[in-house]
Structure 1
Amino acid sequence: MIRCRNLLQHLSICYEYPPRYEKTQNYIVNGSDKQFNILFINDGINAHIMYISDVEALTGFRYCNICHRQAYRIKDPNLQVSMRNHMKKCQKNNGKIVKKVILEKFAKPFVPHILSNKTYKYLLANNLTHLFKPTQYYITYDIETFEKKVNEKFGDSSQVIATLVPYAIASTVKSANGIHSFYYDIRTDDFLDKWLEQLFEEAKLVKKDNKYIDETIPQYFEVPVIGFNSAKFDTSLVFKNLKSKDWTISKYLG
């Protein structure tokens, strides 16, 4: 049994895998601000309580001397600035955590389906929602691959057994003129580059077909190119072909 008088007692628990420490309980005795830190270790059979002389060395964090709750990583290059800013607030609130809700000056409706769509937002603001139309025209693609065994090791614990090699690709285009398809495979030299060339030409037509007649309406000009029956990793097979003198990747999504 441990008797503590006139002490602020912190009880911490150690977790072995991975090693980390969590403060679980605080005990304030007789309103004192003195600290007494103890570590509780339990392996399921034996339990030990140890006195912690240097909390920072054990946990790797520096704690606020006022609230004893806020902690910052010692290796953080902004440690001094973060701690100083926090302690200013802590002194003002007498060590209590005060949460404030900061409201906007003007109320904004939570309608992400409207605010995230600049076309619909414009039409709604101008009472023209009857002109709104969904994206009607798009392009699909499907890549066929085969596995090529490589059995390459990377380090002591990683090994690549096989890689995927594309041998054919097909696309279908839905436009205002109807539906048509085009296809390339390994019998054509640089068939992925040939497919990309035609894909961009078809995308120009799809973009034109999806446009509003009234060009004053804000619009999205992205052309949907949808992988049909293709896993996400199929897209990575054409990344290297997208970097050429004719086109580049300007923005990655996701």
Structure 2
Amino acid sequence: MRMVDSEGEGPPPHYELKQNYLVNDSDKQFNILFINDGFNAHIMYISEVEALTGFRYCNICHKQTFRIGDINLQQSMRNHMKKCQKNVGKIVKKVILEKFAKPFVPHILSNMTYKYLLANNFTHLFKPTRYYITYDIETLEKKVNEKFGDSSQVTATLIPYAIESTVKLACGIHSFYYDIRTEDFLDKWLEQVFEETKQVKKDNKYIDETITQYYEVLVIGFNSAKIDASILFKNLKSKD
């Protein structure tokens, strides 16, 4: 027995198969339509399921559906029914494994240095990133109250007025600071940051040059929201 539920509002109505019951081990199909508008419920007998739902059902498992308007309907049904006959009408799900197993180890595969050391049995040489740069940008809120279209309005924008960075190197820790008293202070800060990264990169390098290494330098925003960091993007325009 199939129970089909009506869904959606307005023409054309849409029907989906909700329940499929096997009564007394009988293969005979008895189809009913269940309609519920929230207050009243109606159950009606369905004489032609395909005409009502727009789908053709497998004659063996009575669960797999095929859209009648599909140009590959006959081929899809033949392919499914061959498998369905072998499985005696049961849907069998199989996990197809790759020929060579690939372990899910993102902490290894995403780190080229650790992957190289593991492959060559040198994991004892692995070292974490010890040297980096941090920054903290300070902003003021400027009210603008600008409208964009009928439903969008910007009430305020953020204006940077100071930025400070701390650099951790093998030789020690030092800081530098810029604010609005310096002309184009964000550009000056970026120039110094890129200059500092040269030494940070050297300090993070492995002594053995044959080891595959990352050459990225971490510049970490300290106590800075994403909206603060976006202020710096427009200043990343130097060709250097």
Q: Which TM-score band applies after superposition, normalised by the shorter structure?
A: 0.7 to 0.9
What's the counterpart of residue 212 of structure 1? 206
User: Which residue, 193, 201, 225 being the options, matches 1:199?
Assistant: 193
The DSSP-based 3-state class of the residue aligned with 1:141 is strand
What's the counterpart of residue 27 of structure 2? 31
Deviations 1:152-184 (A, max 9, x none): 233443322212221111111111221111111
What's the counterpart of residue 237 of structure 1? 231
Cα deviation for residue 228 of structure 1 reads 0.5
What's the counterpart of residue 7 of structure 2? 14
Change (3 A) 1:41 1:122: same
Check the 8 A contact 2:109/2:115 in 1, yes or no.
yes
Deviations 1:81-110 (A, max 9, x none): 8x7886564233237643221122233444
Deviations 1:21-45 (A, max 9, x none): 76422356853579x57353332x3
User: Which residue, 89, 92, 116 being the options, matches 1:122?
Assistant: 116
Q: Within 5 A, what are the aligned runs for 1:62-73?
A: 63=55, 65-66=57-58, 69=64
What's the counterpart of residue 252 of structure 1? none
Greater shift, 123-132 or 200-209, is seen at: 123-132
User: Which residue, 83, 99, 112 being the options, matches 1:93?
Assistant: 83
Cα distance in 1 for partners of 2:142, 2:156 equals: 5
Check the 8 A contact 1:211/1:219 in 2, yes or no.
yes
Q: Does 1:146 align with 2:140?
A: yes
Cα distance in 2 for partners of 1:223, 1:129 equals: 22
User: Which residue, 111, 129, 132 being the options, matches 1:135?
Assistant: 129
User: Which residue, 34, 39, 42 being the options, matches 2:37?
Assistant: 42
Name stretches of at least 5 consecutive residues in structure 2 with no aligned partner.
Answer: none
Cα deviation for residue 239 of structure 1 reads 1.4
Aligned-partner residue type, residue 80 of structure 2: C
Change (3 A) 1:32 1:184: farther
Cα distance in 2 for partners of 1:22, 1:145 equals: 56
Check the 8 A contact 2:135/2:166 in 1, yes or no.
yes
Check the 8 A contact 2:4/2:15 in 1, yes or no.
no
Check the 8 A contact 1:40/1:48 in 2, yes or no.
yes
User: Which residue, 175, 180, 183 being the options, matches 1:181?
Assistant: 175
What's the counterpart of residue 101 of structure 2? 107
What's the counterpart of residue 4 of structure 1? none
Check the 8 A contact 1:114/1:121 in 2, yes or no.
yes
Cα deviation for residue 188 of structure 1 reads 2.0
Change (3 A) 1:142 1:80: farther
The DSSP-based 3-state class of the residue aligned with 1:144 is strand
Greater shift, 86-95 or 197-206, is seen at: 86-95
Check the 8 A contact 2:142/2:159 in 1, yes or no.
yes
- What is the percent sequence identity of the aligned residues? 64
The DSSP-based 3-state class of the residue aligned with 1:229 is coil
Cα distance in 2 for partners of 1:84, 1:142 equals: 65
The DSSP-based 3-state class of the residue aligned with 1:174 is strand
The DSSP-based 3-state class of the residue aligned with 1:241 is coil
Change (3 A) 1:245 1:173: closer
Q: RMSD value over aligned CA atoms?
A: 3.4
Check the 8 A contact 1:143/1:230 in 2, yes or no.
yes
